[in-house]
Structure 1
Amino acid sequence: MPVCAAPPFAADHARSCDARWRAHDLLRLRRLPYFDGEPDWVRAAFERAPYVVVRRALTADGFLAVGLRGAQRSHRYGTWVKTDDVDDAVTPEALCGREPPATRAGLPAFKALAALQRDWSQARTATENALVWGPTGSTGFELATQVSAVSASSDLDLLIRTPAKLPLEHAAHLLTQLQTIAAEAGVRIDAQLETPAGGVALAEWAANKPRVMARHARGPQLIADPWASAHEMR
């Protein structure tokens, strides 16, 4: 089964990304175009929740690269939509203050999110400027759509916006705080820094590796500094 639909445009037309939406934004669509060979669960999933998540890929003008989520962990599919079909958008940071229904709040991912919402001022590092953050993955999807997506084994995925360089000592402090919250809630927290060069795992940056993996629309690349090396990804 293909994991991504073939793009509906010539490869040499894939030159940019629409700046109105960023990776991990959730989009509510008016319609979802059909692509040959799509998995049989796609239509039911879209009817259940007409939302897709923006993924990192270059596109032609008027198109967006998106992903769909089904009821099972294995149900993930990349496809393409027209920008004219976007009805609304929800960013991860818009979800950081939302709460699940009381009947769902006991799930480990939601317990960790609640603790993080309470303690973020301490967990965010000792920098003077607050870090903008929000949940992604199944937690973000459920908070945005009100459709059950989180299970007892779900991780808590986070996006942390870092347009300015996050010092290594602050990254290490933040990682320690997140690991403490994760241990108390009995869940794994996967935090990603959104840098000018793309998405970088907080754990990788905090580990002071010579190079880290930056995930960009042009493709992943190992770089020493996701802030200083941003121009290489443009």
Structure 2
Amino acid sequence: MRVCAAAPFEMSSAAEAAEASAEANDVRWRPHDLLRLQCLRPFDDEPAWVRDAFARAPYAVVRRALGANGFVAIGVRGAGRAQRYGTWAHADDIVNVVSPESLQQAQPADARRALPSFIALAALQRDACAALTTFVWGPTGSAGFELATQTPSVTEASDLDLLIRTPEPLARNAARALFEHLQTLAQRIGIRVDAQLETLAGGVALAEWAAGKTRVLARHASGPHLVADPWAVAVQDGGA
């Protein structure tokens, strides 16, 4: 069984579309955005759980992959961690876009507030002096999905995943301070907080950049790349 549907287009056309999109600065949907869809078109070898998952919550997350004109690479979430399916949405089927930063101050249902991920998020939301206050950021992963869809997705064991937009270079010492702040919070609550920086070269783990590594892994639509400076290297196809 596939974990990702075959692309419904030639990959050469996808590269051309990515180049054209970059030139037009098309930011209607970006990695980690959640898309509300009016329908999810089926593909061959689709896992059996996908239809039920989409019926519960007609949303999918934008994933990092090159797409041709009129298509968006998406991921569908099922009930468990093993249920993740990469597929494609038609742009005409997108009803609404929910960005991580639009969920920065979102609240879960009262009965769900005691879950560790939401406790950690609440601590970040109410701390006016926190290191995150100077950034555009928001929750992704299970917390972001639940806040956007009101579909229970977070468990006692869930991590808190964060996206931090960093269009400008982030100094290593600032990255270390931010990482240490998040780690202190995570240790106090007893969960894992996983933060990703959105850079010119793609998504970079805050932990890697804060660690002072010579090169870090940048996750990009064209694939992962090792880069020395995520703000000095913009991958040529423009699909960050």
Structures share fold, TM-score greater than 0.5? yes
SS in 1 for 2:164: strand
Aligned twin of 1:44: 52
Letter in 2 for 1:135: P
Q: Distance in 2 between matches of 1:39 and 1:8?
A: 17
Q: Tell me if structure 2 keeps the 8 A contact 1:197–1:233.
A: no
Aligned twin of 2:190: 186
Aligned twin of 1:82: 90
1:109 aligns with 2:109: no
Displacement of 1:121: 3.3
SS in 1 for 2:82: coil
Aligned twin of 2:31: 23
Q: Distance in 2 between matches of 1:233 and 1:86?
A: 24
Aligned twin of 1:167: 171
Displacement of 1:123: 2.2
Aligned twin of 1:63: 71
Displacement of 1:124: 2.4
SS in 2 for 1:143: helix
SS in 2 for 1:222: strand
Displacement of 1:184: 1.4
**Aligned pair in 2 of structure 1 residues 203, 233: CA closer, same or farther (>3 Å)?**
farther
Aligned twin of 1:176: 180
For 1:137-179, what per-residue CA distance to the aligned partner results, in whole angstroms no more than 9, with x for missing partners?
0000000000000000000000000000010000000000000
Q: Distance in 2 between matches of 1:72 and 1:120?
A: 34
Q: Tell me if structure 2 keeps the 8 A contact 1:216–1:233.
A: no
The worse-fitting range, judged by mean Cα deviation, of 5-14 and 155-164 is 5-14
| Two-structure CA RMSD over aligned residues (Å) | 1.2
Q: Distance in 2 between matches of 1:47 and 1:55?
A: 20
Letter in 2 for 1:48: R
Letter in 2 for 1:11: M
Letter in 2 for 1:14: A
TM (normalized to structure 1)?
Answer: 0.95
What runs of 5+ residues in structure 1 fail to find an aligned partner? none
Letter in 1 for 2:225: Q
Q: Distance in 1 between matches of 2:165 and 2:65?
A: 19
Name the count of aligned residue pairs.
Answer: 230
Q: Distance in 2 between matches of 1:118 and 1:203?
A: 23
Displacement of 1:13: 1.1
1:199 aligns with 2:207: no
Aligned twin of 1:4: 4
Q: Distance in 1 between matches of 2:163 and 2:129?
A: 16
Q: Distance in 2 between matches of 1:79 and 1:23?
A: 14
Letter in 1 for 2:205: A
Letter in 2 for 1:171: A
Q: Distance in 2 between matches of 1:13 and 1:142?
A: 35
Q: Distance in 1 between matches of 2:36 and 2:236?
A: 32
For 1:48-71, what per-residue CA distance to the aligned partner results, in whole angstroms no more than 9, with x for missing partners?
000000000111000000000001
TM (normalized to structure 2)?
Answer: 0.93
SS in 1 for 2:110: coil
